[in-house]
Amino acid sequence: MKDLNNLAEIIVETHNVFQKTAVRSVNKFLSIRNWLIGYHIVEYEQHGEDRATYGSSLLTNLSKRINKKGLGLTTIKNARLFYNEYAFLAPSILSHISNTVSQNEIRQLPTDELEIIDSERDKNRQSQADELENSLDYCNNLLFKVSFTHFVELLKIEDLTKRRFYELMIIKSTLSVTDLKQQISSLAYERVGMSKDIDKASATLSKSLQPEHASHAIKDLYLFDFLDLPHHTLVEENEVEANLIKHLQAFILELGIGFCFEARQKRILIDDTYFFADLVFYHRILKCHVIVELKVDQFKHEYLSQLNTYVAYYNDQIQESNDNPAIGILMCTDKGEKRVEYAKAGMDNQLFVSKYLLQLPEKKDLERFIKIELLKKNKNNT
């Protein structure tokens, strides 16, 4: 690469080739196109003969030189950042290019010996990189299941472990960009118990996305700020419940990965008397039923007793031979830790009491709640 004109020509050529194939697979090829554009820009910054002429105004001058719809300054900036942060996608991207684009269609493709920028930032990034980055399957999942619009949001997250968390959420739950923004703004990562300890955070991340035990899948706090409830003081349980069903996709997303909806107001017959469980799910990872009781009230021990009855019924009457014991989640507007502890004494340890909020609180209030919960978890683990 000799000069800026040559760089602009290569970027336009890359754009034209992948614009043709984008009809078949928009998301994947848009990401590949932008990654390659980023690669060429970084390569030019390292070896371009006239790079010193443009300095900090390089990207602005480049966008003007290209002057093509879809390749504006914002796209070029994002492409450069995308390559810098996702250079590890090289093997997967090169493989896809070799299978979809002929060698005479595009020139100066990166080789298997792709040069990564040698800077202190990259050394620090590499020292923090997890095993996922070395997995070709994971890289392929990123290209196939994560759109470039998702990547733009992910690039705003500097913490690598946190970014991995949301990458996996997109891959496993097929989040829309709107859903991803909602999860980030409601601090989903922080609420599953993340910390600054990378090893501990990675372990917690794995448990929350691929839970082995019920305690890994249940949150201490649920946020139902997506509900369309009337603005009056008294909210009935059936209003909350009906709106959760109305916004079932958002509700399941808030519950976490693995929850599959089965029934609302599930009728249960015990001793010739009918009872009704508010919401019933099946957890495809834990292989068990999950019974949710929703109360627009603070915790009371009789609520837990009622839920315990439903869980026991499911274990006795509904559970199949290949199912694990059912889980019960009591969702209240508030709870006292000691009252919950004493009420659960002697009961099935598959019962959980969680708090929920109908409106997203101020960020500082939510962060304070998370900090308190993390302290309690650390205390219980020592």
**Within 86-174, where are the H helices?**
90-100, 120-128, 136-145, 148-154, 160-173
Could you give the domains of the chain? Answer: 1-117 (no CATH), 129-210 (no CATH), 213-362 (3.40.1350.10)
Mean per-residue pLDDT of the chain: 78
72 has pLDDT over 50: yes
Nearest to residue 198, comparing CAs of 128, 134, 133? Answer: 128
Predicted local distance difference test score (pLDDT) of residue 151: 96
- Token pair, residue 238, equals 């059936």
Predicted local distance difference test score (pLDDT) of residue 154: 96
Region 138-155: mean pLDDT is 90
334 class by beta-carbon count within 10 Å (0-12 exposed, 13-18 middle, 19+ buried): exposed
Predicted local distance difference test score (pLDDT) of residue 199: 58
359 has pLDDT over 80: no
Please answer whether residues 226 and 253 qualify as being in contact, where contact means their C-beta atoms are separated by less than 8 angstroms.
Answer: no
Pick the range with the lowest mean pLDDT from 21-30, 110-119, 172-181: 110-119
- Token pair, residue 239, equals 């209003």
* Tens digits of residue pLDDT in 34-61: 999 999 888 888 876 676 666 678 888 8
Predicted local distance difference test score (pLDDT) of residue 130: 47
